[in-house]
Amino acid sequence: MTGVPALVFDCDGVLADTERYGHLPAFNQTFAEFGLPVRWSEDEYAEKLLIGGGKERMASLLTPEFVAAAGLPTDEDGQREVLAHWHRRKTQLYTEMVAEGRLPGRPGVARLVEEAAAAGWALAVASTSAEPSVRAVLTHVVGDERAADFTVLAGDIVPRKKPAPDVYLLALDRLGAEPDAVVVVEDSRNGLLAADGAGLRCLVTVNGYTEHEDFSKAALVVSTLGDPDGEHTTVLANRTAAKPGEWITLDDVAALLKEA
């Protein structure tokens, strides 16, 4: 390993279980407020999660039939403006949910962040979600003081979203890190492919939306990072020399780098 080690987290589904309890209701409330003839079910939203980015998921609605039924603009500039308006409102609703404490952090995240910070690791978040949403979740999960230590890369900061590797390549540049010194924590196949495309080792913590996806490229796949006094870790796949116990420690994460 060369250089200062870095721990880079995805946001949604990794820092907190945001998709089911945050993004989905925020999307549906936005659709209702704008009088749009659509409400995504959990199954429908699971399919939308295969599309990286909130605006992009909304854009998937814009078939000629939907545009006509909803009385939306037919020109590209008009549709882009409408999507931006929808997405701003959806982001506002979502950040309000986070501020109200309705999206608790996933087990082990705050603990592992503190271990990494104490050991001098660089910290970052790399997400396709809007930056205000990401910062709100990060602050809620790790606190204001620790959140200030993170490099945050989010939203439209890169032209191609996951599964393209762009955001992780940018993370390497911003952190001044070498690929063999970085571990990414992801929850989805798209995120895993993005990390792998940038040459990074990936620790996957699955959730209800992603647990059946193909994570064959991941170094380590677990149910959760786990906590001593809470939910414990179940190892689902391990292609490294790491030997996790009932929760993932920084030593386990560092073991992934030894395999790089």
Residues annotated catalytic, as ranges: 10, 12
Which residues pair with residue 7 across a beta bridge? 123, 183
